[in-house]
Amino acid sequence: MSDSRLNVPMLVGLNDRPSAGKTLLASLQHVLAVFGGIVTAPLIIALGMKLSPVDTAYLVSSSLVISGVATLIQVSRVGPIGSGLLSIQGTSFTFIGPLIFSYYTLLNGASSAEALGAVLGTSGVCALCMLVLVQFVEHLRRWITSNVSGTAVALIGISLVWTTLKNLYGDYTRVELYPGWWVLGLALLVFVITLILVRTGNALLRMTSITIGLFVGFGVAWTLGMVDTAPLNAMPNVFVPSVTQFPLSFDLTTFLVLMPVYLISATESLGDLTATSKLSGLAINNRAFWRRVRGGLSGDALNSFIAAIFCTFPNTTFSQNNGVIRLTGVCSPYVGRFVAVMLVVLGLFPIVGGFFVIMPAAVLSGATLLMFIMVFMSGLMIVSGGDGRVRNWPLVTAAVIFGLVCSVVVPLISFLPQWLKSFLQFPISTGAICAFVLELFRTKPTLSDTESSGNQHAGEAQDVLSEGAQ
For residue range 396-430, list pLDDT tens digits in order: 899 999 989 988 888 888 777 877 777 788 788 88
8 Å CB contact between 271 and 456: yes
The mean pLDDT of 367-385, rounded to a whole number, is 82
The mean pLDDT of 44-50, rounded to a whole number, is 89
CA dist., res. 94 & res. 261, Å (int):
7
Nearest to 112 by CA among 39, 43, 46, 40: 46
Given pLDDT bands bounded at 50, 70 and 90, which one contains residue 387?
low
Q: How far apart are the first and last CA of the chain?
A: 19
pLDDT digits (tens, 9 = 90+) for 100-136: 989 998 988 789 999 999 999 999 999 999 999 999 8
Q: At residue 66, what is the residue type?
A: I
Q: At residue 7, what is the residue type?
A: N
- Cα diameter, the chain: 66
Nearest to 454 by CA among 295, 279, 270, 281: 270
Q: Which residues pair with 316 in a beta bridge?
A: 90
Angle between helices 146-174 and 447-456 (to 10 degrees): 30
97 pLDDT more than 60 = yes
The mean pLDDT of 450-468, rounded to a whole number, is 40
Residues of the chain with pLDDT > 90, as a percent, come to 28
Residue 285 DSSP label: S
DSSP string for 224-238: TT----GGGGG--SS
Q: At residue 116, what is the residue type?
A: L
Considering the chain, what is the average pLDDT of its residues? 83
Residue 4: predicted pLDDT = 42
The mean pLDDT of 344-362, rounded to a whole number, is 86
Backbone angles phi, psi at 178, to 5 degrees: -155, 165
Q: How far is CA 14 from CA 160, 203, 339, 438, in A?
A: 37, 22, 16, 42
Torsion (CA) 391, 397, 399, 403 in degrees, nearest 10: 180
63 pLDDT more than 90 = yes
Residue 443: predicted pLDDT = 56
Q: At residue 431, what is the residue type?
A: G
pLDDT digits (tens, 9 = 90+) for 281-319: 888 878 889 999 999 999 999 999 999 999 999 998 887
Residue 124: predicted pLDDT = 96
pLDDT digits (tens, 9 = 90+) for 190-244: 999 988 988 887 777 777 787 888 889 999 999 988 888 888 887 788 898 999 9
